[in-house]
A and B are shown apart, each in its own frame.
Chain A
C-alpha cells in the first residue's frame, strides 16, 4: 500500500514539475506574451515592461520556476492575466465538460455494447457494421462535429448549434465526442465475443442446439463485462482531449475551450491549472479502473 501511494505521489510530483516547466517556458520563450495581450499591440516598451513586472515575468527563469512550483504543490493556481481567480473558473468549466463527457461516455457504452450484442445475435449484418465503425474511427472528431452541426442545426434546424443556453445543447457535442469511443468499444466488444465463441463451453452449448442469444445473456456477456468496462474507463482521457475540439466548434465554455483561450492569450497560470486538473481527473479514473480490476480478480478468485 505504502509503495503504491509512493508511486502515485512520485508520479504526481514529476508531472507537476513537467507541467510547471512547460508553463514557465511558455511565458518566457513564446514569441508573443501575456503582457502584449493585456497592454495591446500599440503599447510602448515602457508600458510593456511595467506590465511584465505586474505579471512577474521579469524574474530569473529558475526563480520563477521555483516560485510557481511551490505554489502549484499547494494547488494554488493564482489568477488569470485578467485577475480572475483560476480555481472557480476551472471548476465551472469542468462541470460542463464532465456533463458532456458523462453523456458521451454513457451513449458510447450503450452504442458500442448494444451494437456488439445485436451484431453477434444477427450475424448477417456484422461485416457491414464493422466496416461502418472503421469508417467512423477514421474520421477526425472535428469532421464529425461539423457534419452533425451542418445537418442537424443548420440544414434541418432540429437542435441548437452551440452554446449552453438552449435545451438539448449537449446532444450534438456529446454525439461528436462519444462517436469514436462508441465505435472503438463496439470493435473491442465484438473481438471479445469472437474469442468467447471459440471456447469449448460455447461450442458445447451450440451443439445442444442453443441459440446465440441464449448463450450471450447468461454466459458470454458476463465474461466480457469486465474487459469492456475496463476499456471504457481507460478511454476516459479521449473525452477530455476531444472536448478541446468539440467545445471550440460548438462554443461551449468547458475545459477544452478554456484551455484554447488560455493558450491564445498566453495565460500560463490558467493553462497550467487546466492541465493539472485534467491529469488529476485521468489519474483518478485510472486508479478507479485499477481498483475495479483488482476487486474483480479477488472476487472471481482469478
Chain B
C-alpha cells in the first residue's frame, strides 16, 4: 500500500534526482579542440558546445542554475505571502483589504512583463533574478492565502477558540499553522511550472543569472544561430527543458488531484 503511495510521486522524485545530480557532476571544462563536436556514444553522448564543453554536463549545470532560481524565487514569494497572511490576521480588516488591493493591482500586469521590468531594474545576477520572480509571483500567492485566511477564520473551531479566550497569536500558531503548511506546499508546486517558464523566458530575453554560468534559457538563446549547422547544441537543451517542465507539471497534477480528492 505504501509503495503505491510513493510511486505516484515519481515526477517529483525524478525532478529532485536531476536537481541533486546537477550538484554532483563536475563543471564542464573548456576544451577548444573539441568545439562543436557531434554526439558520440563513447566520449560526449550529447556532443560539445562551441567552447568544447561536454553538452550533457553543460545542460546539467545550466539546469542547476535555472532550478535554483525558480525554487528560490517561489520560496521567497511564498515567504512574503505567508508574512502577509500573518499580518492580515494580526492587523485586521485594513491590512487585509490593502494587501488584496495591492495584489489585485499587480495582477493586472502579466507576470513575465513585471518580472522583466523588475529584473532589469535590479540588474543581472542570481539575487536579482530571484527577486524578480518573487515580485512577479507574490500577488497570486497572496490573494490565494488571504482567501484561505477568510475560510479559516470563519471555521467553527476558530470561533470556539476565540470565544474560549484564545488570543490571535495563539490561534495563528496553534490552529492556522498546520493547514497553512499544507497550503503552502500545494501552492509551491501549483505555480512551480509557471515559475520555471518565467525564469527560462527571462534568461532567453537576456536577464541572466551570472556571467560565468547561465540557465537553460540562456543556453538556447546563445546557440540558436547555430541551429542549422549544429542542431544538437540547441536541440538537447530544449528537450531537457521541456522534460523538466513536463515533470513539474505532472508533479503538480498529482498533488492537486490528491488535495482535491481528499
Interface residues of A (CB under 8 A from B): 7, 10-12, 14-15, 18, 22, 25-26, 29-31, 134-135, 137-143, 146, 150, 154, 237-238, 240-242, 244-245, 248, 259-260, 263-264, 271, 275, 278-279, 282-283, 286
B110 adjacent to A241 (CB under 8 Å): yes
Answer whether residue B104 sits at the interface, using C-beta atoms and an 8 A cutoff.
yes
C-alpha spacing A66/B231, complex, angstroms = 52
A18: chain B residues within 8 A (beta carbon)? 102, 105-106
B110: chain A residues within 8 A (beta carbon)? 237-238, 240-241, 278, 282
Most chain A CB atoms below 10 A, which of B101, B116, B241: B116
Q: How many A-B residue pairs have CB under 8 A?
A: 114
B193 adjacent to A138 (CB under 8 Å): yes
A138: chain B residues within 8 A (beta carbon)? 193, 242, 245-246, 248-249
The stretch that binds A, out of B20-28, B69-77, B196-204, is B196-204
Answer whether residue B222 sits at the interface, using C-beta atoms and an 8 A cutoff.
no
Most chain B CB atoms below 10 A, which of A12, A138, A240, A263: A138
Chain B: minimal CB distance from A292 (Å) = 18
17 inter-chain pairs at a CB distance below 8 angstroms, sorted by A residue, are: A25-B121, A138-B193, A138-B248, A140-B200, A140-B242, A141-B201, A142-B221, A143-B220, A150-B228, A237-B109, A241-B110, A242-B112, A244-B113, A244-B205, A259-B117, A263-B120, A275-B109
A15: chain B residues within 8 A (beta carbon)? 105-106, 108-109
A11 adjacent to B101 (CB under 8 Å): yes
C-alpha spacing A97/B245, complex, angstroms = 27
Answer whether residue B238 sits at the interface, using C-beta atoms and an 8 A cutoff.
yes
What are the nearest 3 A-B pairs in CB distance? A241-B110, A138-B246, A15-B105
Give per-residue flags for B196-231: 1 if the beta carbon is below 8 A from chain A beta carbons, else 0. 010011001110000000000100110010011000
A11 adjacent to B113 (CB under 8 Å): no
Identify which of A12, A134, A146, A271 contacts B246 (C-beta below 8 A). A134
B238: chain A residues within 8 A (beta carbon)? 143, 146
B101: chain A residues within 8 A (beta carbon)? 7, 10-11, 14
Q: Give the nearest-CB partner of B123 in chain A.
A: A31
Q: Give the nearest-CB partner of B113 in chain A.
A: A241
Chain B: minimal CB distance from A86 (Å) = 16
A154 adjacent to B228 (CB under 8 Å): yes
A263: chain B residues within 8 A (beta carbon)? 116-117, 120
C-alpha spacing A163/B100, complex, angstroms = 41
Known: A26-B120, A237-B109, A263-B116; 7 extra A-B contacts, CB below 8 A, are: A15-B108, A135-B242, A142-B201, A142-B217, A242-B112, A259-B116, A275-B113
A271: chain B residues within 8 A (beta carbon)? 117
B205 adjacent to A260 (CB under 8 Å): yes
Interface of B is mostly: helix
Identify which of A10, A264, A279 contacts B108 (C-beta below 8 A). A279
A279: chain B residues within 8 A (beta carbon)? 108-109
Most chain A CB atoms below 10 A, which of B109, B114, B201: B109
C-alpha spacing A283/B107, complex, angstroms = 9
Q: Give the nearest-CB partner of A24 in chain B.
A: B121
C-alpha spacing A260/B245, complex, angstroms = 25
Answer whether residue B234 sits at the interface, using C-beta atoms and an 8 A cutoff.
yes
Answer whether residue B172 sits at the interface, using C-beta atoms and an 8 A cutoff.
no
Q: Give the nearest-CB partner of A142 in chain B.
A: B204
Chain B: minimal CB distance from A112 (Å) = 17
C-alpha spacing A100/B106, complex, angstroms = 24
C-alpha spacing A10/B104, complex, angstroms = 11
C-alpha spacing A31/B128, complex, angstroms = 13
B118: chain A residues within 8 A (beta carbon)? 22
B220: chain A residues within 8 A (beta carbon)? 142-143, 146
Answer whether residue B111 sits at the interface, using C-beta atoms and an 8 A cutoff.
yes
- Given contact pairs A138-B242, A140-B245, A259-B116, A248 touches B123 in the complex (Cβ within 8 A): no
A278: chain B residues within 8 A (beta carbon)? 109-110, 113
C-alpha spacing A66/B122, complex, angstroms = 22
- Given contact pairs A241-B111, A282-B110, A134 touches B120 in the complex (Cβ within 8 A): no
Identify which of B105, B113, B201, B250 contacts A240 (C-beta below 8 A). B113
A137 adjacent to B249 (CB under 8 Å): yes
Give per-residue flags for B154-191: 1 if the beta carbon is below 8 A from chain A beta carbons, else 0. 00000000000000000000000000000000000000
Q: Give the nearest-CB partner of B253 in chain A.
A: A134
A139 adjacent to B245 (CB under 8 Å): yes
Chain B: minimal CB distance from A265 (Å) = 11
Identify which of B104, B112, B242 contacts A143 (C-beta below 8 A). B242
A11 adjacent to B242 (CB under 8 Å): no
A11 adjacent to B104 (CB under 8 Å): yes
Chain B: minimal CB distance from A282 (Å) = 5
C-alpha spacing A121/B101, complex, angstroms = 44
A244: chain B residues within 8 A (beta carbon)? 112-113, 116, 205
A146: chain B residues within 8 A (beta carbon)? 220, 224, 227, 234, 238
Q: Give the nearest-CB partner of B244 in chain A.
A: A138
Q: Give the nearest-CB partner of A256 in chain B.
A: B113
A242: chain B residues within 8 A (beta carbon)? 112
B117 adjacent to A275 (CB under 8 Å): yes
A140 adjacent to B117 (CB under 8 Å): no
B245: chain A residues within 8 A (beta carbon)? 138-140
